[in-house]
Structure 1
Amino acid sequence: MPTFDIVSKIELPEVDNAVNGVLREIEVRYDFKGSKATLEWDKETLTILADDDMKLRQMQELVRGHFAKRKIEAGSLDFQKAEPAAGQSVRQKILLRQGIDRDAAKTITKAIKDAKLKVQVQIQGDELRVTGKKRDDLQDAIAVCKALPMEQPLQYVNFRD
């Protein structure tokens, strides 16, 4: 039986490349000379530290731009509320969204079932497996998923006949 998986993943080496690109651009830009603007990355969150709100907004645009160049969709970045840090500086956390949470999985499953396609959808942890008798039904299921208004980017992988 043909199957495929619906996942939401981010390539971590590409995140590392994008972060390094942002840091290099901060070092050479004239408007960041003498500022304490930094970007830190651990495996799940990015942390922006800027001198003021204006520099914070500029760094957000740098992050979005460099991530877009690296083919990481903006929907996988979850910008948290900016908070004051030491002195006049501002800190903001950016969460990297990976995996499909329960609510999104139920939404996708319901949409595929409402389309009356001859496929079965199984929730397997943070991904979905779609199984059907015909390849065309699976392609229709992908089209239904792409039409959904999801913030989080989805990938369709592991397509097997």
Structure 2
Amino acid sequence: MPSFDVVSEVDKHEAQNAVDQANRELERRYDFKGVHASFELKEGVITLTANEEFQIEQMKPMLETCLIKRGIKITCLEYGDLRGAGKQVKMPATMKEGIDKELGKKMVKMVKEAKMKVQAAIQGDSIRVTGKKRDDLQEVMQLWKSSDEILLPLEFKNFKD
């Protein structure tokens, strides 16, 4: 029986490229001349560093634009609270990965409500979908891609015929 797995993960190489591109853009911006500001990616957390809080707010759209250009959905970003005061202010932006239980239940419920001839089962931070026909599986993919409720970037892996 055909099956596939649905996971939510961010391409780490593309994320690093987006952060590097955002740093290069910072160097070129006139309003950031002479300002110690940077983006740094470590273990799925992008740290925005600047001298003032308003500069951090200006850096957010720059980062988001670079991520979009690299094909990463910005809905996976979760901004934290500002830390520090005085000379440097930092803000973490965590890239969420994995399908949590609540979202997994919502996705399985969507499939059941659509009355498709497939079975969807939650397996940790992924969902396995099995069905008799390949076309049924592709309908499920389209259902999830077109949904407004699913904000995380989805990847369909291990497609077996």
Equivalence for 1:21: 21
Equivalent residue letter for 1:28: R
Is residue 96 of structure 2 the alignment partner of residue 100 of structure 1? no
Q: How far is the alpha carbon of 1:103 from its aligned partner?
A: 0.8
RMSD in angstroms over aligned alpha carbons?
1.5
In the alignment, structure 1 residue 132 sits paired with structure 2 residue 131: yes
C-alpha distance in 2 between matches for 1:150 and 1:45: 21
Amino acid at match of 1:116: K
| Structure-1 residue corresponding to 2:155 | 155
Q: Structure 1: how far apart are the matches of 2:86 and 2:102? A: 40
Residues 67-110 of structure 1 deviation map (CA, whole Å, 9 limit, x = unaligned): 111111111211223x2413054321100111111111111011
What amino acid sits opposite 1:112 in the alignment? V
Separation (CA, whole Å) in 1 of partners of 2:146 and 2:83: 39
Does the 8 A contact of 2:67 with 2:74 survive in 1? yes
Map of 1:35 onto structure 2: 35
1:64 matched to 2:64? The reply is yes
Aligned counterparts of 2:17 and 2:44: Cα–Cα separation in 1: 15
Aligned residues between the structures: 160
TM-score normalised according to structure 1 size: 0.91
Match of 1:119 in 2: 118
- Secondary structure at the aligned position of 2:67 is classed as helix
- Tell me the secondary structure at the aligned position of residue 87 of structure 1: coil
Quote the Cα distance in structure 1 between the aligned partners of 2:28 and 2:140: 47
TM-score between both structures, scaled by the size of structure 2: 0.91
For structure 2, list consecutive stretches of 5 or more residues without a partner in the other structure: none
Q: How many percent identity over aligned positions?
A: 40
Structure 2 CA distance, aligned partners of 1:143 and 1:59? 34
